[in-house]
Amino acid sequence: IAFAKDWYPASRLQNAPSWHYVNTDQWRYEKSYLDYHVVPEKQPEGSLVEEHTMDVQVRAVRNGWLPFYPQFTKSSLELAKEAKRAGCKTPQEISDWVVAGLKDRKIRFAVEDPDAEECWPRIFFMWRGNALMSSAKGHEYFLKHYLGTHNNTIAEEVAEGHVTEVDWRKIAPQGKLDLVVDLNFRMDTSALYSDIVLPAATWYEKADLNSTDMHSFIHPLSEAVPPCWESKSDWDIFRAIAKKFTEFSKKHFPEPVTDIVTSALAHDSPAEVAQPVIKDWFRGECEAIPGKTMPGIAVMERDYRNVYEKYIALGPGARTKLGAHGTSYDPSDFYDELKRTGRRKVVDGQEYPSLENAVEVCDAILKLATVSNGELAHRSYKNLEERVGLSLADLADGNRSVRMSYKDLQSQPRRLINSPMWSGLTDHGRTYSPFTYQVERLVPWRTLTGRQHLYLDHDAYIQFGEHVPTYKPKPNAHQYADMDASEKTGENKGAVKMLNFLTPHGKWHIHSTYGDNARMTTLSRGCEPFWINEKDAEELGIVDNEWVEVFNDHGVVVTRANVSCRIPKGICIIYHSPERT
């Protein structure tokens, strides 16, 4: 449901670290690996360790190891039109045309030239995160290159001459984003920097499900009171956006369009073993084969005129086959039951189960998930039996009659039941522990060998010397290179000392949430203080609770000192990501 796979088989899923690293231009402030890391001396020709992180990022996208969006230096919709003008009629012909264009360089990946204006991200929509502050690394670079606003970074760009796979542009763009939208119930750092803040309902103002892989219970969020003023539930906000987008689409996309979607090679699929050794089709070392030696390429039709109708209906893709982590099951009878017993929506003349309101979404998830439907868990175990050759369906026998609905959870939160989606076994009140069915039922581990192993027989790990657990001494200040520009600009005048800077998870909050109310701030002097050893403080002339400035090339913090004998000498601490004020 989250990625609309009930309507479209392919969706664009991006790993955030790569996306932010590339688009905030943090790669421009680094040299090659060898400037920072100790690696084995004898390296093969073309070794990854001789390159820059950005070079490896480009190779990873090109070879299908990682995704990256935007995909190409041209719109995927425009490329599809060009392919049709070139005579392509079928999805396979369009895919072949794209591969040929990539090989002869008529088509380029956007990651190869990320600072080109046509490759910038333009809209940043934040949901359930504090992306401009605590959900990613490099806050000051977000301010500089995403927003083009005031920032405190003084680090120098040093990547020129060290990158080979990416186009180097002399002037790094600042202010790439045109629009920043934040869906939030707090005025956190991301909200402060956003163009638009969509007020979201809190836990007691909406219907939702709450669960994590950290514990084994499913909790309902219930609307005890209506959302405050103009705030809405997450589901209702996106529904309103879908409705307005659909209205605009009738003018701007009056006909269905063809889209080209690339996707990285996936784990728990045959693609996981597609590249036993590192070979690059771009360098002529192997053939360019989508889904094997390069990203998968899917071609599909999109009709933007009915985005809203599809948003509020559970599509046919949820009826055919569901699954995760390499297992699958047939949910068709329960899908039909949803349609028979609940409200229905019509899309293109066909009836589908309604997802118009959040309670309907919760019920659909609970009815079709193996952790809340015992019959589907049994089917999924039967599927796993065929794959591993073991008898496992009995793990679901005791829960086979279990069904959960949103109202059931409102009366009492329920535990997840045994499911091959997770490796723990929780029946009879047992505490969840991972990898239980691997140990007790001999199900193969989800590794290339099916066993636990420490040795990683892979070219890249061997090149970096990471193929076995390796002791690494603490890097020195020169290797960190986090004070080079500060020393040049004279920032070290006065009482200054270089310390190892640690940012552990907060004592009185979770990331940036829950930490800024009066009760929590009372526990930490009304702020996030700078913890420092008493000997270091004495050397610097710092008195407990005095204001101090903490800086390196990547930013500056002004806060109060907490002088403590509990902090080792040479180390300082500021707990993770205090909000900007």
Per-residue pLDDT of the chain (581 residues; tens, 9 = 90+): 999 999 999 999 999 999 999 999 999 999 998 888 888 988 998 899 999 999 999 999 999 999 999 999 999 999 999 999 999 999 999 999 999 999 999 999 999 999 999 999 999 999 988 899 887 889 999 999 999 999 998 999 999 999 999 999 999 999 999 999 999 998 999 999 999 999 999 989 999 999 876 778 999 999 999 999 999 999 999 999 999 999 999 999 999 999 999 999 998 888 989 999 999 999 999 999 999 999 999 999 999 999 999 999 999 999 999 998 889 999 999 999 999 999 999 999 999 999 999 999 999 999 999 999 999 999 999 999 999 999 999 999 999 999 999 999 999 999 999 999 989 999 888 988 989 999 999 999 988 889 998 899 899 999 999 999 988 887 788 888 888 888 876 655 678 899 999 999 887 776 666 777 788 888 888 888 999 999 999 999 999 999 999 999 999 999 999 999 999 999 999 988 888 87
Burial 100-124 (b: 16+ CB within 10 A, else e): ebbeeeebbbbbbbbbeeebbbeeb
pLDDT, position 519: 80
Whole-number Å distance between alpha carbons of 52 and 163: 6
User: Across the strands, what pairs with 220?
Assistant: 209
pLDDT, position 515: 76
What stretches of 188-331 show up as alpha helix (H) in DSSP?
189-193, 234-252, 307-311, 317-320
Whole-number Å distance between alpha carbons of 406 and 360: 9
pLDDT, position 493: 63
Q: CB–CB of 311/3 below 8 Å?
A: no
pLDDT, position 490: 60
User: Across the strands, what pairs with 259?
Assistant: 300
Whether this model's pTM surpasses 0.75: yes
pLDDT, position 478: 82
If one counts every other C-beta atom within 10 angstroms of the C-beta of residue 212, the result is 8
Q: CB–CB of 8/300 below 8 Å?
A: yes
Q: CB–CB of 75/119 below 8 Å?
A: no
pLDDT, position 437: 93
If one counts every other C-beta atom within 10 angstroms of the C-beta of residue 8, the result is 17
The CATH code of the domain at 1-73+108-198 is: 3.40.50.12770
Sign of the Cα torsion 314, 315, 316, 321 reads negative
pLDDT, position 480: 81
CATH architecture of 477-573: Beta Barrel (2.40)
55: tokens are 């070079």
Select from 237, 155, 146 the least CA-distant residue to 189: 146
pLDDT, position 472: 80
Q: Where in the chain is the domain with CATH 3.40.50.12770?
A: 1-73+108-198
